[in-house]
Chains A and B, each alone.
Chain A
Amino acid sequence: MDAAAETGGAVARWDSDPVLTVEHLTMRFGGLTAVGDLSFNVGRGDITALIGPNGAGKTTVFNCVTGFYKPTEGRIAMRHGPGRQQAALDALTNSGARWRRSAEGAVFLLERMPDHEIAHRAKVARTFQNIRLFGGMTVLENLLIAQHNPLMVASGFTVGGIIGLPSYRKAEAEAIDRAAYWLEQVRLTERADDPAADLPYGAQRRLEIARAMCTGPRLLCLDEPAAGLNPRESAELNALLKYIRDEHDTSVLLIEHDMGVVMEISDHVVVLDYGVKISDGDAAFVRSDPRVIAAYLGVEDEEEIDVAEIKQDVDQVARRTPRSDAAGDGR
C-alpha cells in the first residue's frame, strides 16, 4: 500500500515531512506475530490516528515506538527538525549509534534506545490504555515528576539542591508555572493539591495527557484517550488535542476506537488488522476503503461485500451523516 498512490500521485504531506517513520516493524511474541512488517509515517504537525479492531496490535506498536518492547525487526526513526533528513538517518543507521545531530535538527533510532531515553532525548511522550498516574501523589507532583530531567540538571544532580542553590529554586518555580499552565489547559487547577487517585475517570485521562505534555514532547502518543469519556468530555478532548497540535509544535499519534473522534480530528489514519496495515490515508479515504469496512465488520472475503450498504452501517458507527463527504467510492 503506497500512500502516495492513494492520494492521487502527489506525495502525501506525512510522507514528505514525517516526524516519525516506522519501517518494516515486526514484533513477535513466541509464535504470535502481533505486528507484521508494518510501515507508516507520522506527519509533522499532524494528528495521526492508528485504528483497528481489538487485538490488532496497536498498543504493541506504541510499546515498540516508546521502547517498552524491543521490536523483533524493523527501524523506527524519530526526527527533530524539518524534512526527511535522509542522509543523516542513513549515516546514523550505519554508525551503530543511537542518535545523531544533523544540519536540520537531530535523528533518533528508537529501536536502539531504552524507554527513558526515548522520552528524555527523542522527546516522545505517551499515555497508557489503562491510566498510569502516581495515585498517591498530588496532581501537581505528577506534573513535576514529568519535568524530572530538567529539574535534575537544575538541582546540580541533587548536590546543588541539598545546599539550597537559588538557581534550583528558580527552576522549580518555573516548573510549577509550567505545571500550572497545563492544569489550566485541562481544567484541573482546582484539584492541583488533591491526590491523583481521587480524581474522577475523565479528569485522570486529562491529567495523564497534561503530564505527558509537561515533558515537552515533539511527538505525543495517546493510547485510547477517549475511552470511557462521555460525549461532552470527548468533545473537550478533541479541542485539547487540536490545541496541542496547533500551539505546541507537537505531533500527535493516537489509538482510538471512537470513530467520531477519529474522523473529526485526524489528519491521517492508519488502519491495522491482525498486525498488518490494511489502509493508510486521510479520514475520508479510510472511511470508504472496503478493506477497512470488511475488517471492522468481520467479513473474511472482500468480494462478497455490498459496499454501499455496509458503508452506511460503518458511517452510523462513525456517528457521521453518510455519503456527502465520502471521497472516491472505493477503488
Chain B
Amino acid sequence: MAGETTPVPAADNRPAGAQAKAESRRAAPHTVPARDPHSLAESVRDAALAALLAGVLGFFFIGLRTDIAPGGLTITTRWTALVVAILVVFAGRLALNLFVFRTRRPVTGRLAAGAAAGAPQLATAAKWLMRGLFVFALVLPFFFITFVPGRDRQFIDLAILIMTYIMLGWGLNIVVGLAGLLDLGYVAFYAVGAYSFALLAQHFDLGFWMALPLAGVLAAMWGLILGFPVLRLRGDYLAIVTLAFGEIIRIVLLNWYQFTNGPDGISGIPKPTLFGLELKRGEGGFADVFGLAYDPIHRFIFLYYIIFVLALITNLVTIRLRKLPVGRAWEALREDEIACRSLGINTRNTKLTAFAIGAMFGGFAGSFFATRQGFISPESFTFLESAIILAIVVLGGLGSQIGVVIASVVMIGGIEMLRNIGFLSQVFGDGFDPVQYRMLIFGLAMVLIMVWRPRGLIATREPSVALKEKKKIGADLVAQGEGH
C-alpha cells in the first residue's frame, strides 16, 4: 500500500546551483570519462567476467567427467553441458546486474520496502488465515474424500504428516521461541515419546490412550534431565550440548540392543482404538459395529483427527501459558536473564519448565508417530529431524504460532509435492528425481526467506496483556535469547 503511494523522487525537489551541476555530472555517464557502474556496458562486462569464471571452474567440474572402467578411469568430455552452464551464469548475472546490483532502483529495494510496510497487514491477514485454516483443517478429510476421491488417502496421509510437524513446531516454539533457548536436539524427546509407547505396548500391553500420557510424562522427565546440565550454558554452548544430547539418545537407542532392539527397531506397535473399537476389517471392527462398509480410509481419518486434536491442545495450552506468569517469565528470560533474577524469578526452574513442557509435547507427538507407523527405529530420529523442526520454527518466526503452521505446510507439503511434479523429469530427463534435491530446495527457501524476512514470516510479537489496547511489537525490538 505504502509502496504505491510513495511519489517518484523527481521534479518537485530539484537541487539548484553547484549541487545541481554536481548531480547532473553524476547522472549523465557520457559527459564524464570515469566509468559509471550503472551503465549497460559495465553490467555486460561484469557478467562476462562471471561467465569466464564459470568457464574456468566448470571446465573441471562440468566439462570433464570420469567414470570407473575396467583397468582404471575413463575420461569423457561434456562440452554442451559446459556451454549451457556458462550461458546460464552469464544470463543470470546479467539479469541480476540489470535489475538488482547495477541499477539505481533495484527491484529488491521495492520488495524490502513492501515487506516492511506490509508487516501490520500481514499480521491481520495471518489472523484471518488462522481462522480459515482452522475451518479447513476441521473438514480436511471430508474435503479430500469429496474432491479428490482417487487420491484421498495420499492427501490425508500427507495432512497427518504436516500436522505432526506443526505439533512438533509448536512444542519446540515454547523452548526456542518463548524461552529463547536454542535446542538442536528436540528430536530426542520425539524419540523418547515414540519408544516409550512402543516399549510400554510391547512389555505391558498398554494401548495408545493409556501410553500417551505416560509417554508425555517420560519425555518431560527427560526434558528435565537434559535440561539440568545445560542450564548454565549460554549461546553456542547451549546449542552444541543440546545437539549432542539428541545424538546421544539416538545412539543409545541404536546400541542398547536388548532393550530397544537396536537398529532393527520395534514393530507391531498397536493401532489406536476408538472407545475400545478397533478400526479393522471384519467382526467387532468399527465399520462392522456402525454398519458401514469397511474402508481403510476410516483409519486415516481417525489418525488425522487424533493428531489434529493433539496439535490443537498444544496450541491452546501454549496460548494459555503465554498469558500466565510462567509464560511471561519465559519471554522475560529470553529478553534479559539478569533482570529476571533481580526480580526474584528463579531462572533455573523457569528454564526447566520450558524444557519439560516442550519435551512433553514432543513426547505426545512421538507416541502418535509410533502408533501411526506401527514400526519405529532409531533411523527416524536423526539430527535432520531436529533441523527440520527448528527450521519450521525459525522460518515461521520465533514465537509465532501461525508462522509454524505456514512453514510446516510449505516445507513438509512442498517437499512431498515435489514427488508429484511430472514436468520436471520431462525437462531434466527421466532419471531426475526432484525429491533428491529437496535439501537444496530447502536451503534455497531458507536463504530466500532469511533475506526477505530475517526474523521469519510472522515476526511481530503480540503482548500478553494490555491496559488499553494491544499493539503489535516489531521484531527488531524483541530479543532472541541464547544461542541465536
Contact = CB atoms under 8 A, between A and B. Distances in A.
Interface of A: 66, 68, 115-117, 119-120, 125-126, 128, 132-138, 140-141, 144-146, 148-149, 151-152, 155, 158, 161-162, 168, 172, 176, 180, 183, 189, 192-195, 197-198, 211-212, 215
A215 B479 CA distance: 23
Contacts of A146: 343
Nearest to B469: A193
Contact of A148 (B338, B343, B471, B479): B343
Closest 6 CB pairs of A and B: A136-B478, A120-B344, A119-B344, A134-B335, A192-B467, A132-B339
B343 A161 contact: no
B135 interface: no
Interface of B: 317, 320-321, 324-326, 328-329, 331-332, 335-336, 338-347, 353, 461, 463-471, 473-474, 477-479
B344 A140 contact: no
Q: Choose among A115, A125, A140 the residue with the greatest number of B CB atoms under 10 Å from its CB.
A: A115
Contacts of A195: 473-474, 477
Contacts of A211: 343
A116 B467 CA distance: 28
A136 B461 contact: yes
A136 B343 contact: no
A211 B340 CA distance: 11
A158 B342 contact: no
B466 A116 contact: no
A10 to B, nearest CB: 36
Contact of A115 (B324, B341, B466, B477): B341
B332 A134 contact: yes
Given A126-B342, A136-B479, A145-B329, A193 B470 contact: yes
Nearest to B339: A132
A198 B459 CA distance: 17
A146 B331 CA distance: 13
Given A151-B325, A158-B326, A162-B321, A116 B463 contact: no
Contacts of A183: 467
B477 A148 contact: no
Nearest to B474: A195
Contacts, number: 137
Q: Choose among A125, A126, A145, A211 the residue with the greatest number of B CB atoms under 10 Å from its CB.
A: A145
Contacts of B328: 137, 141, 144-145, 148
Given A135-B477, A152-B326, A195-B473, A176 B467 contact: yes
A141 B324 contact: no
Q: Choose among A134, A155, A183, A198 the residue with the greatest number of B CB atoms under 10 Å from its CB.
A: A134
Contacts of B461: 136-137
A119 B324 contact: no
Q: Choose among A66, A133, A136 the residue with the greatest number of B CB atoms under 10 Å from its CB.
A: A136
A168 B323 CA distance: 12
29 contacts: A68-B338, A116-B345, A120-B344, A125-B342, A128-B338, A133-B335, A134-B332, A134-B335, A134-B336, A137-B328, A137-B331, A137-B473, A138-B471, A140-B466, A144-B325, A148-B325, A148-B329, A148-B332, A148-B343, A149-B345, A152-B326, A158-B321, A161-B325, A176-B465, A189-B467, A192-B466, A192-B468, A211-B343, A212-B343
A134 B464 CA distance: 13
B331 A116 contact: no
Contacts of B470: 193
A146 to B, nearest CB: 5
A149 B463 CA distance: 20
Contacts of A117: 344
Nearest to B464: A141
Contacts of A149: 344-345
Contacts of B332: 134, 137, 145, 148
Contact of B343 (A158, A198, A215): A215
A145 B353 CA distance: 16
Nearest to B317: A162
A66 B344 CA distance: 10
A225 to B, nearest CB: 14
Given A144-B328, A180-B467, A135 B344 contact: no
A195 B476 CA distance: 11
Given A193-B463, A193-B466, A193-B469, A155 B325 contact: yes
A198 to B, nearest CB: 7
A78 to B, nearest CB: 14
Contacts of A115: 341-342
B259 to A, nearest CB: 33
B325 A128 contact: no
A141 B465 contact: yes
